[in-house]
Amino acid sequence: MAKAQFEIPAELIRQINDLEHNTEKMMGEMVEAGAKTVLSKIQENAPAAMKKDPELMQCLGTTRVYKTPSDDGINVKVGFSGYFTNQDGQRTPAALVANVFEYGRSSSPYPKQPFMRKSFNKTAITKAMEEVQKKYIKED
């Protein structure tokens, strides 16, 4: 019977062990970097009327990195949350106002001004995530 022996370099074994221990941290940082890219694009693409109200723009943010129990995915949500006081002095849900800007209303003179959909640029998100990945996976 033939016998074969292979020697794996110690450096490669160390890199695999490091990656095994840091995978969840790396994935979390990658997702967070992608979310920051989307967040900055949303702030950039927001309609002028929306940018005029700093209280509304403060409602825009990201959640903390979390793991979904159903598929063990690592996620971050980017969007509007909470309430702000509008010009009439009423507390209004920020997500409702963002939805009106994004999709418009048929019963009012509010045409749609999509800014959220345009902010999800897959290439820019992937690039930001790969930059974080390079910190953990050294390529020779």
What confidence tens digit (pLDDT) does each residue in 33-67 have?
A: 999 999 999 999 999 988 998 999 999 999 999 99
Q: What is the pLDDT of residue 115?
A: 92
Domain spans in the chain, listed from the N-terminal domain onward: 23-136
pTM listed for this prediction: 0.82
Q: What is the pLDDT of residue 112?
A: 87
Percentage with pLDDT > 90 across the chain: 58
Q: DSSP states of the chain as a string?
A: ---------HHHHHHHHHHHHHHHHHHHHHHHHHHHHHHHHHHHHS-HHHHT-HHHHTTEEE---EE-TTT--EE--EEE-SEEE-TTS-EEEHHHHHHHHHH-BTTTTB-----HHHH--HHHHHHHHHHHHHHHS---
Q: What is the pLDDT of residue 13?
A: 81
